[in-house]
């Protein structure tokens, strides 16, 4: 597969994520869409890193390997972020008895 | 002895702090003892210092570094040499007598105000001591500002009277105008010589260009005109009569007004090197002497006459400085301190006896009622009139002789002014003490001679007014008779080397002495005869009205300077301040307010709309990126 396939897939996932964030009101789905955008970027990073490795392995056996490693870190950090985000959503539900983001306009007043 | 130098100004400062801080707790007698005691201490120390200097030990004591920036270093140092030790004696000696006198004169005040008065008085003396003891121009300037402040405080001592407050403000503002000149001169000196220490400045001065020296000395002279009440800044001094009478004596005799003379005498080398400035000093002094003398002819307030006579005598001193007779000027400062303090204290004694009556038209016939005051006042009048062998004659004669050798016109005007001086002094004397009493019956009933605390200083000053001149006999009368001149020689040696005064031959000098004495006596006798019988105070001629109204100088200043500045200030307030600056400031506020209202709808609180805006924003950036590349 050429790099273009990966890029198109990543763009597709990212746009689904953006559309979801913009249109949905359920905070959990918004959250999932954010994760989709994050993982689209992650996928792109892995893909570029692999292409880099294929192009440069003749010279340097470990070329592009740090991109692969970096993705793991991103996934770990994203997992931590998800827990914080979910905790916030739980607190929000306790306070407003709703998961509709349009209820979150209280700061306005 | 050198380690005691700092005590001389420190004692009055301590007196100021004690009396000022504890004014609500001290009784009047304790306050008086503190106030006079510290001055007595300073006086004794000054005498010791004087003795030391007389034996040839000149001291420059540096206490600590006052300002040290880059190459400029200004030490807080005191200099005790012939000139400053002489001034120390005058200030502390005459100041001490005035303090003693004040204890009786101010007896009617409440203890807190009494203490306030004495603390100001001590601060005044402290500032003046700082002024004459400083070994550089900056320390001198500190004292210079200090006496300005104290004069403000003391002139406005009775602060409940708005007129007195205005007089105090006038004195302060006039002084500040002069101070600006002094300050610029100091900056110029720092720029030119890189130092403000007397010794170093005077050493470097001959190498500087005449232009620079003329500029510096003229600016210094501007400072002196403010402090020593010369044209054009003299009008504050007569108004300064608003203060208690001993304060007037202190300002006019021992402190304050002599500061300008001291400063120029101290900077004599600079002036000798700048002949243009010298001429300006001499002409200003002479003009002031004549102007003030003519005004004094027609004043009714006993203190006002004395005030104008001080202005006139200060003019004489500046004439002396201007013609290069520095010794004569300093000599006149000294004799003037004696007889002017005596005149003011005598006038205070009269005012005290008449319960704050100051108009000489309501006095008269006090000769028998106030014998001590009368006798001492008469002595002071003879002294200031310049009749030998009283002190004023010798100092005035020295200045006149020097001005004769420089310019005959100076001498003629000077002698005529001396005649005017004799006339107006005896006019005051005759209307106050001779003839019949013209006040109310009740006043007549209450008149009695002042207490000992007031008469003893009068007697001491009277003795000094008689004998004070005997330390400076002119050369024609006695060989080596000028003890003061010999004493001060080291200070003025450099100036004397650069420019020698050509003394007239002995016959001419005797003639000059004869003429000036004759004119003084004639002036005195005319006034005595004219005013001892009747009081004729009508101003019939135009000239008399001009003199009585002080040449309309106050009106001229009000209309020519104060009113234009006020209206300019009003214009600035009404137009620049309120229309331009205010509308700019308010406009900025209004713009922000309006702008905020207009974009408020963006903050809807809807998370979705924020995200949408964010995405749109990112897209915009992408598009820009795309097209720019």
pLDDT along chain B (629 residues), means of 10: 82 93 89 92 92 86 87 90 91 92 89 91 93 92 93 91 91 91 93 89 88 92 91 87 89 85 92 91 93 89 91 92 90 92 92 85 84 92 89 90 88 92 91 84 81 89 89 76 83 81 77 89 89 71 80 86 92 92 94 92 78 89 89
Q: Count of CB atoms within 10 A of residue B53's CB?
A: 22
Mutual orientation of helices B7-21 and B111-133 as an angle, nearest 10°? Answer: 160
Residue A107 has pLDDT above 60, yes or no: no
Give pLDDT, residue B535. Answer: 67
Q: Which two tokens stand for residue B323?
A: 């013609």
Residue A8 has pLDDT above 80, yes or no: yes
Q: Count of CB atoms within 10 A of residue B615's CB?
A: 14
Report which of B330, B333, B325 is spatially closest to residue B499, judged by C-alpha positions. B325
Cis peptide before B232 (omega within 30 of 0): yes
Q: Count of CB atoms within 10 A of residue B283's CB?
A: 16
Nearest-angstrom CA–CA distance, B387 and B466:
10
Are B516 and B420 spatial neighbours (Cβ–Cβ below 8 Å)?
no
Chain B (254-273) residues lying within 8 Å, Cβ to Cβ, of chain A: none
Report which of B364, B340, B344, B339 is spatially closest to residue B354, judged by C-alpha positions. B364
Q: Which residues, other chains included, contact B53 with Cβ-Cβ below 8 Å and sequence gap of 6+?
A: B80, B81, B82, B85
Residue indicated by tokens 């070329």: A63
Q: Which of A101, A108, A109 sits opposite B608 (nearest CB)?
A: A101
Yes or no, beta carbons of B605 and A107 under 8 Å apart: yes
Residue A109 has pLDDT above 60, yes or no: no
Residue A105 has pLDDT above 70, yes or no: no
Q: Please count the helices (runs of H) and the strands (runs of E) in chain B.
A: 27, 2
Residues of A in contact with B604 (CB under 8 A): 105, 108
Strands B72-80 and B59-69, how do they pair? antiparallel
A97 touches chain B (CB under 8 A): no
Give pLDDT, residue B137. Answer: 93
Dihedral angle sign, alpha carbons of residues B325, B328, B334, B336: negative
What CATH number has the domain bearing residue A68? 1.10.287.3510
Q: Which residues, other chains included, contact B577 with Cβ-Cβ below 8 Å and sequence gap of 6+?
A: none
Yes or no, beta carbons of A22 and B608 under 8 Å apart: yes
Q: Which two tokens stand for residue B391?
A: 């002190």
Give pLDDT, residue A106. Answer: 64
The residue count for chain A: 109
Chain B (590-619) residues lying within 8 Å, Cβ to Cβ, of chain A: 603-608, 611-612, 615
Residue indicated by tokens 């020519």: B560
Report which of B132, B427, B118 is spatially closest to residue B261, judged by C-alpha positions. B132
Yes or no, beta carbons of A105 and B606 under 8 Å apart: yes
Number of domains in chain A: 1
Q: List the alpha helices (DSSP H) in B354-407.
A: 371-385, 391-406
Give pLDDT, residue B435. Answer: 82
Which of A11, A17, A21, A106 should one mutate to test binding to chain B, selecting the residue with the greatest count of B CBs within 10 A? A21
Give pLDDT, residue B498. Answer: 81
Q: What is the DSSP letter of B107?
A: T
B625 touches chain A (CB under 8 A): no
A5 touches chain B (CB under 8 A): no
User: How many angstroms separate the CA of residue A56 from the nearest CA in chain B?
Assistant: 29
Yes or no, beta carbons of B605 and A101 under 8 Å apart: no
Q: Which two tokens stand for residue B507?
A: 């016959």
**Owning domain of residue A44:** 3-108
Question: 3-class SS at B246?
Answer: helix
Cis peptide before A28 (omega within 30 of 0): no
User: How many angstroms separate the CA of residue B620 from the nearest CA in chain A?
Assistant: 15
Q: Which two tokens stand for residue B24?
A: 């609500």
Are B356 and B362 spatial neighbours (Cβ–Cβ below 8 Å)?
no
Residues of B in contact with A108 (CB under 8 A): 603-605
Question: 3-class SS at A26?
Answer: strand
Is pLDDT larger for residue B33 or for residue A107? B33
B77 φψ region: left (φ > 0), alpha (ψ -120 to 50), beta (else): beta
Give the residues across from A26 on adjacent strands. Answer: A100
Yes or no, beta carbons of A105 and B615 under 8 Å apart: no
Which of B601, B606, B607 should one mutate to test binding to chain A, selecting the residue with the greatest count of A CBs within 10 A? B607
Q: Which residues, other chains included, contact B56 with Cβ-Cβ below 8 Å and sequence gap of 6+?
A: none
Q: What is the pTM of this model?
A: 0.79
Are B394 and B473 spatial neighbours (Cβ–Cβ below 8 Å)?
yes
């Amino acid at each position: 597969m050429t790099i273009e396939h990966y890029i198109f897939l990543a763009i597709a996932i990212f746009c689904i994520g953006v559309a979801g964030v913009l249109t949905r009101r359920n905070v959990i789905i918004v959250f999932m869409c954010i994760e989709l955008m994050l993982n689209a970027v992650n996928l792109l990073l892995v893909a570029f890193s692999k292409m880099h490795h294929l192009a440069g392995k003749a010279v340097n056996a470990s070329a592009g390997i740090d991109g692969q490693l970096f993705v793991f870190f991103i996934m770990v950090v994203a997992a931590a972020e998800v827990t914080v985000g979910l905790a916030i959503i739980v607190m929000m539900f306790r306070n407003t008895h709703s998961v509709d983001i349009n209820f979150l306009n209280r700061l306005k007043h | 002895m050198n380690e005691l130098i700092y005590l001389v100004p420190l004692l009055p400062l301590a007196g100021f702090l004690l009396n000022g801080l504890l004014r609500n707790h001290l009784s009047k007698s304790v306050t008086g003892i503190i106030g006079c005691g510290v001055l007595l201490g300073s006086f004794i120390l000054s005498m010791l210092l004087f003795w030391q200097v007389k034996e040839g030990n000149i001291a420059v004591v540096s206490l600590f570094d006052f300002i040290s920036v880059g190459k400029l270093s200004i030490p807080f140092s005191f200099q005790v040499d012939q000139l400053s030790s002489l001034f120390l004696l005058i200030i502390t000696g005459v100041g001490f007598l005035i303090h003693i006198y004040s204890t009786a004169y101010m007896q009617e005040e409440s203890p807190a105000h009494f203490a306030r008065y004495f603390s100001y008085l001590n601060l005044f003396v402290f500032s003046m001591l700082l002024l004459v003891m400083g070994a550089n121009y900056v320390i001198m300037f500190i004292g210079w500002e200090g006496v300005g402040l104290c004069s403000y405080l003391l002139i406005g001592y009775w602060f409940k009277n708005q007129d007195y407050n205005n007089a105090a403000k006038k004195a302060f503002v006039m002084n500040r105008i002069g101070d600006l000149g002094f300050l610029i001169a100091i900056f110029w000196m720092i720029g030119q010589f890189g130092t403000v220490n007397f010794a170093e400045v005077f050493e470097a001065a001959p190498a500087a260009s005449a232009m620079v020296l003329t500029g510096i000395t003229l600016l210094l002279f501007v400072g002196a005109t403010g402090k020593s009440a010369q044209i054009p800044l003299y009008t504050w001094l007569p108004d300064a009569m608003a203060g208690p009478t001993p304060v007037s004596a202190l300002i006019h005799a021992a402190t304050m007004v002599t500061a300008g003379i001291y400063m120029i005498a101290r900077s004599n080398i600079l002036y000798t090197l700048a002949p243009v400035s010298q001429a300006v000093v001499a002409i200003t002094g002479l003009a002031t002497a004549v102007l003030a003398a003519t005004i004094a002819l027609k004043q009714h307030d006993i203190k006002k006459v004395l005030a104008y006579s001080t202005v006139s005598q200060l003019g004489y001193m500046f004439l002396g400085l201007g013609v290069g007779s520095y010794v004569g000027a300093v000599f006149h400062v000294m004799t003037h301190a004696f007889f002017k303090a005596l005149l003011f204290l005598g006038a205070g004694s009269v005012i005290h006896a008449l319960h704050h009556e100051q108009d000489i038209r309501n006095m008269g016939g006090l000769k028998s009622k106030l014998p001590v005051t009368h006798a001492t006042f008469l002595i002071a009048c003879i002294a200031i009139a310049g009749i030998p062998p009283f002190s004023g004659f010798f100092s005035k004669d020295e200045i006149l002789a020097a001005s004769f050798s420089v310019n005959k016109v100076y001498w003629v005007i000077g002698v005529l002014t001396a005649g005017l001086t004799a006339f107006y002094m005896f006019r005051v004397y005759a209307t106050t003490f001779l003839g019949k009493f013209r006040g109310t019956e009740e006043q007549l009933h209450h008149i009695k001679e002042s207490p000992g605390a007031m008469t003893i200083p009068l007697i001491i000053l009277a003795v000094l007014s008689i004998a004070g001149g005997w330390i400076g006999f002119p050369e024609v009368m006695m060989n080596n008779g000028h003890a003061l001149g010999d004493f001060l020689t080291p200070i003025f040696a450099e100036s004397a080397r650069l420019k020698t005064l050509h003394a007239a031959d002995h016959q001419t000098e005797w003639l000059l002495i004869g003429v000036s004495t004759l004119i003084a006596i004639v002036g005195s006798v005319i006034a005595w005869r004219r005013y001892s019988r009747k009081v004729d105070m009508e101003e019939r001629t135009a000239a008399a009205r001009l003199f009585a109204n002080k040449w309309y100088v106050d009106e001229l200043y009000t209309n020519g300077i104060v009113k234009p500045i006020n209206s300019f200030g009003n214009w600035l307030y009404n137009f620049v301040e309120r229309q331009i600056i205010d509308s700019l400031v308010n406009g900025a506020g209004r713009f922000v307010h309006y702008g905020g209202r207009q974009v408020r709808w963006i903050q809807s609180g809807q998370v979705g709309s924020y995200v949408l805006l964010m995405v749109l924003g990112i897209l915009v950036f992408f598009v820009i990126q795309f097209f720019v590349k």
